[in-house]
Structure 1
């Protein structure tokens, strides 16, 4: 969850496999849902200071998204609902982290966009880029 400066307000708002839910429960990483990985976001319950929810993925170890192949991103307004938007991200090569999509506020309305921007660094550098304090 990011503020208007695209930084986390609190480190606990950086949701990942080691911390699969933010304290308010408005953003959750689910690994037992209908897809391999699901990010559940309660947009209506996010505080007004939250301007964006960035959805990214990272590969641990030496693998890259070029090794993984195509990544499917789908926005669905609830369990069992029809998708509102989707994208196939399949141009990765050496990237170890990939910004998949963003939910962002435009005025009072939340919008969704697929991004597909990749980086060669790992999860820790991605987190630091959003202002998360990572202990080495």
Structure 2
């Protein structure tokens, strides 16, 4: 049975799901109809963060141009440039057993590609969600539906996974940024 989460809510992921070591993080969205003339291309990314809450190098950043980190510990399944259709628009697979001990947190984000050039923002996006699926059983464990409170933001931190002792927990974040991918990269310590 899947759990629906609200902004800020935390949940024990591996403790409440014994034996869970590999998950699929599915991200999805719909585009509101508007007269902008341009296609929307939303991109999911993962930032692998060290104890200080920062990524140390490009190797800690998984996105459409760097599809994996740490020998497949985090794997992006590829860029969906249209977001059309039902279900997940992009997926990131996380194998907790392969995450190095130096990584304490994994931030999952979505940005709008070329948002400023196309005059696009998350106010034009609806029904955005992140869901966590057990990779082995394909059962949805939890889902966080992002509210539609964003008007000028071009990047959103959907959620974070964080290490607590030997367990991994999930936190629904829902924090928006203006400045797209560049703002997120700076926020997480990269250039």
What is the TM-score with the length of structure 2 in the denominator?
A: 0.64
Q: What residue is the counterpart of 1:125 in the other structure?
A: 183
Q: Aligned partners of 1:99, 1:26: CA distance in 2, in Å? A: 20
Q: For CA contacts below 8 A with separation 6 or more, give which structure has more relative contact order.
A: 2
Q: What residue is the counterpart of 2:94 in the other structure?
A: 41
**Conserved 8 A contact 1:86-1:114:** no
Tell me, which stretches of 5 or more residues in structure 2 are unaligned?
1-47, 81-86
- 4+ residue segments displaced more than 4 Å: none
Q: What residue is the counterpart of 2:21 in the other structure?
A: none
Match of 1:78 among 132, 135, 159: 135
Superposed displacement of residue 14, structure 1: 0.6
1:104 paired to 2:162: yes
Superposed displacement of residue 22, structure 1: 1.7
Question: Could you say which structure has the larger radius of gyration?
Answer: 2
Q: What residue is the counterpart of 2:67 in the other structure?
A: 20
Q: What residue is the counterpart of 1:92 in the other structure?
A: 150
Cα deviation code 1:48-103 (max 9, x no counterpart): 11100000011122311110112111011215521111111022221100000111
**Conserved 8 A contact 2:104-2:162:** yes
Residues 86, 42 of structure 1: alpha-carbon distance in 2 compared, 3 angstrom cutoff: same
- The structure that is strand-richer by fraction is 2
1:69 paired to 2:126: yes
Q: Aligned partners of 2:121, 2:68: CA distance in 1, in Å? A: 25
Q: Aligned partners of 2:184, 2:173: CA distance in 1, in Å? A: 15
Q: What residue is the counterpart of 2:58 in the other structure?
A: 11
When the two chains are superposed, the root-mean-square deviation of aligned CA atoms in Å is 1.8
Cα deviation code 1:8-37 (max 9, x no counterpart): 132211111121212422111113896210
